[in-house]
Structure 1
Amino acid sequence: MFRHTKLLQFEAKPEKPDPLYARKLQELIGGAFGEMTVTMQYLFQGWNCRMEGKYKDLIMDTATEEIGHVEMLATMVARLLEGAPATATAEAAKDPTMAAILGGMDVQQAIVGGGGALPADSNGTPWNGKYIVASGNLLADFRANVAAEAQGRLQTARLYNMTDDPGVKAMLQFNLARDTVHQKQWLAAIEELKADGLESDIAPNALFDEENQEHNNTVWRLSDGTDGAKGGWSFGGEGIDYLQNPDPLGGPGTAPKPDPALFGTYAPIQDAVGTVKGKAKAAKRKASGKSKN
């Protein structure tokens, strides 16, 4: 059961409207690493978690918080759109600054959203459920969560430097802080999974005896340059060796003969009367007065 509290987790009041920035904020709502993504990612991870207890509670706590972040951002977008474009008349648009603002705003926010936020990114591309990771393996999922929070914090930091509005910056300062602690919590949870004996360094912790033993400890040098071998991973400390001159282990990657019904290009057209090429050549010989013999 979810219950909505009619108060924002943190205030979302801009000093003044800014429809151009409202469009930019859409990335933090419906982008690949936006709040809708982490909301649904954590919800489905929690619902797919087979163990009641601290891990499931952590996931669901964070998922529910992220719903509130979507609400905060949607509220901020609506307030940034206040008065635009309904009161931004053609006369106002004659001002170069106003024209630039109108030209850069997302008209979908007005036409479709009625002056509000959309479940879409900053280009108006609808949010996609394929963005989320919810595998049922907590180690793999928590690592994906760290990456999602890192990308989200990176985009928030970039947007923070794209505004001078103190109200917007205050909300983004809060969001930056929450992205920081969420990265910390997932990193800590990964270590706790190991300490509890639930997972090891590699996900999943199975089939180690079945995998190819010759190729589970080498980094292949496949790009120009020699600096790759200078990394700490190449000194054997992590059980990894740096293979300087790897050779291909397979044969040519030739696809099989295509099904004739698919008309894939495969072999030369036979030079005989009765084929397209043969008929063309026969017609040419006849026109020149030459015979095949």
Structure 2
Amino acid sequence: MWIYDKKLQFPVNIKNPNPAMAKYIISQYGGPDGELGASLRYLSQRYSMPFKQCIGILNDVGTEEIGHFEMIATIVHQLTRNLTIDEIKESGFGDYFVDHTTGIYTVSAAGIPFDATCFASKGDAITDLMEDMAADAALL
């Protein structure tokens, strides 16, 4: 179905850990407006779309969002690798670290785990497309 290049579309090469920044960026991974919700939104909505061209677009956008999901995970991983206990405490990363150490987990910046209520798939083409536009506008 897909060909996976096994490399990021845009390479990520963060040299200095920054767990404070990771706390915010993790929300783009599994927060309410993150890449997981975006990919599931498009890939779920495609099945009730009555127009073949739109089905293809929703599938393409959904798979593109999965690529973004991978880039965000890489960013968070690089920002949190090789942390010292002092860096964890000083950055406020301790609450996340207690539950996940430096594992990548679908969570918002506030620490709320990903929930499928972060996206909609109503089965009505207009409603779903309005949801998509509203979700993408939230990032602008």
Range class of TM-score, shorter chain: 0.7 to 0.9
Q: Which residue is equivalent to 1:31? A: 31
The secondary structure found in structure 1 opposite 2:139 is: helix
Structure 1 residue runs of 4 or more that deviate by more than 3 Å after TM superposition: 1-4, 110-114
Deviation at 1:73, TM superposition (A): 0.2
**For the residues of structure 2 that align with 1:152 and 1:134, how far apart are their CA atoms?**
19
Q: Counterparts of 1:68-107 in structure 2 under 5 Å?
A: 68-84=67-83, 88-89=84-85, 93=86, 99-101=89-91, 104-107=92-95
Q: Counterparts of 1:85-234 in structure 2 under 5 Å?
A: 88-89=84-85, 93=86, 99-101=89-91, 104-108=92-96, 110-153=97-140
**For the residues of structure 2 that align with 1:150 and 1:81, how far apart are their CA atoms?**
29
**For the residues of structure 2 that align with 1:143 and 1:61, how far apart are their CA atoms?**
18
Aligned length: 140
**For the residues of structure 1 that align with 2:47 and 2:9, how far apart are their CA atoms?**
23
Aligned sequence identity (%): 26
Q: Give the partner amino acid of 2:109.
A: S
**Counterpart contact for 2:45–2:58, Cα < 8 Å:** yes
**For the residues of structure 2 that align with 1:111 and 1:4, how far apart are their CA atoms?**
33
Q: 1:55 to 1:98 in 2, by over 3 A?
A: closer
More helix by share: 2
**For the residues of structure 2 that align with 1:59 and 1:116, how far apart are their CA atoms?**
30
Segments of 5+ residues of structure 2 without an aligned counterpart are none
The secondary structure found in structure 2 opposite 1:28 is: helix
Q: Give the partner amino acid of 1:79.
A: Q
Deviation at 1:2, TM superposition (A): 4.2
**Counterpart contact for 2:19–2:88, Cα < 8 Å:** no
**For the residues of structure 2 that align with 1:116 and 1:122, how far apart are their CA atoms?**
15
Q: Give the partner amino acid of 1:62.
A: V
Deviation at 1:119, TM superposition (A): 0.8
Q: Which has the larger radius of gyration?
A: 1
**For the residues of structure 1 that align with 2:110 and 2:80, how far apart are their CA atoms?**
16
* 1:43 has 2:43 as partner: yes
Q: Which residue is equivalent to 1:245? A: none
**For the residues of structure 1 that align with 2:88 and 2:77, how far apart are their CA atoms?**
18
Deviation at 1:29, TM superposition (A): 1.2
Q: Which residue is equivalent to 1:13? A: 13
Task: Name which structure has the greater RCO, CA cutoff 8 Å, separation 6+.
Answer: 2
1:111-145 per-residue CA deviation (whole Å, 9 max, x = no partner) reads: 44442321111122110101111122222111111
Q: Which residue is equivalent to 1:261? A: none
1:79-110 per-residue CA deviation (whole Å, 9 max, x = no partner) reads: 000111xxx14xxx3xxx87522xx11543x4
Q: Counterparts of 1:242-257 in structure 2 under 5 Å?
A: none
Q: Which residue is equivalent to 1:59? A: 58
Root mean square deviation, CA, Å: 2.0
**Counterpart contact for 1:29–1:120, Cα < 8 Å:** yes
**For the residues of structure 2 that align with 1:116 and 1:150, how far apart are their CA atoms?**
30
